[in-house]
């Protein structure tokens, strides 16, 4: 069995925890689970979900700016933008029962 599962969304991570529990496995004692998004439900799951917080407004703003640039200058070179994220450490990864820890992750 895996020792940890990283899931691409918090909703899927919550479902993963439910499936693991249904099969007699405990999170994080048997398997650590980490989600992505930092939805409000992440802090209220049992155990609270470790997750990666993405800054949706910043992501949306960058997407619109790139789209407008592409419309105005269709021949312009493609551009890559890195939006920093934060790792929000909670109990589902095996961290101690403390207040959440946020760590900025850059591309």
In which residue are the tokens 């589902």 written?
92
pTM beyond 0.85, yes or no: no
Give the full edge-to-edge strand order of the sheet including 32-37.
Answer: 4-6, 32-37, 50-53, 85-89, 101-105
DSSP character string of 60-91: HHHHHHHHHHHHH-TTSPP------EEEEE-G
Q: What is the pLDDT along the chain (107 residues), one digit of tens a residue?
A: 899 999 999 999 999 999 999 999 999 999 999 999 999 999 999 999 999 999 989 999 999 999 999 999 988 888 888 999 999 999 999 986 655 566 666 65
* 95/78 Cα distance (integer angstroms): 40
């Amino acid at each position: 069995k895996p020792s940890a599962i990283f899931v691409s969304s918090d909703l899927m991570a919550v479902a993963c925890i439910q499936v693991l529990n249904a099969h007699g496995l405990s999170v994080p004692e048997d398997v650590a689970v980490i989600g992505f998004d930092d939805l409000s439900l992440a802090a209220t799951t049992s155990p609270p979900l470790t997750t990666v917080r993405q800054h949706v407004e910043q992501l949306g703003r960058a997407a619109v700016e790139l789209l407008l640039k592409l419309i105005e200058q269709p021949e312009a070179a493609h551009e890559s933008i890195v939006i920093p994220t934060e790792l929000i450490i909670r109990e589902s990864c095996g961290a101690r029962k403390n207040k959440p820890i946020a760590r900025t992750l850059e591309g």
